[in-house]
Chains A and B, each alone.
Chain A
Amino acid sequence: EAGVAQSPRYKIIEKRQSVAFWCNPISGHATLYWYQQILGQGPKLLIQFQNNGVVDDSQLPKDRFSAERLKGVDSTLKIQPAKLEDSAVYLCASSLGASGMSYEQYFGPGTRLTVT
């Protein structure tokens, strides 16, 4: 079974530039998550989709971050414009059902973003 795919694996940009990350979840997984993990901290949920609908984006900085999941499959996360504090690993995860129903989350390898 193929895992969660993410690209790119690494990205270096200057502040005020824009960047986009792509995620392809495990086939058949209804729920897709984007997390931000800053060094030394646990993953912080940015946005959660169930199929192609947003169920939680309460921690997404909507003035600069946006995400979409067209057709309920793959997803993109965009940052525009980037700030220095956006330097982090961006993790995509998917699960068969909603996390509140005790489904395991499978994580992709992440995109390591450095903003200079």
Chain B
Amino acid sequence: RKEVEQDPGPFNVPEGATVAFNCTYSNSASQSFFWYRQDCRKEPKLLMSVYSSGNEDGRFTAQLNRASQYISLLIRDSKLSDSATYLCVVNSKNTNAGKSTFGDGTTLTVKP
């Protein structure tokens, strides 16, 4: 079983739709969580951190459920420009520093 698992999709949605992605992780000692966005043939960029209490940034909402070991990303009012791959990242503490584990990503295509 992979440490971080995501539904690869693809998710194909019309503009204006609401779409949600989930990500599960296996290490119960994981400490911090992020969503990164990766456009085709580009590098990943931080979309948002995920806090225990849940957090919102405009049309994007991230939530963490430690008991069930998953995080989610909700995108409301999808735009064409939201088309990308969304990577879930889970950080855990190793002996000297943190270790980041990336999921394989969920691909979103928003269509007109």
Contact = CB atoms under 8 A, between A and B. Distances in A.
Given A40-B104, A55-B95, A109-B42, 4 more contacts: A42-B87, A44-B102, A91-B43, A107-B43
B72 interface: no
Given A91-B43, A102-B49, A48 B97 contact: yes
A42 B104 contact: yes
Contacts of B95: 55
Given A100-B31, A100-B91, A102-B91, A45 B44 contact: no
A42 B105 contact: yes
B93 interface: yes
B104 A107 contact: no
A98 B103 contact: no
20 contacts: A41-B104, A41-B105, A42-B4, A42-B105, A43-B44, A43-B87, A43-B102, A45-B99, A45-B101, A55-B96, A56-B99, A99-B91, A99-B99, A100-B91, A100-B94, A100-B97, A102-B91, A104-B49, A108-B43, A109-B43
B73 to A, nearest CB: 15
Interface of A is mostly: mixed
Interface magnitude class on chain A: 20 to 34
Contacts, number: 70
B65 interface: no
Interface size class, chain B: 20 to 34
A2 interface: no
Interface string A72-116: 000000000000000000010000001111101101111000000
Interface of A: 31, 33, 35, 40-45, 48, 50, 55-56, 91, 98-102, 104-105, 107-110
A31 B100 CA distance: 12
Contacts of A107: 43-45
Given A55-B94, A91-B43, A100-B32, A105 B105 contact: no
B43 A110 contact: yes
B99 A100 contact: yes
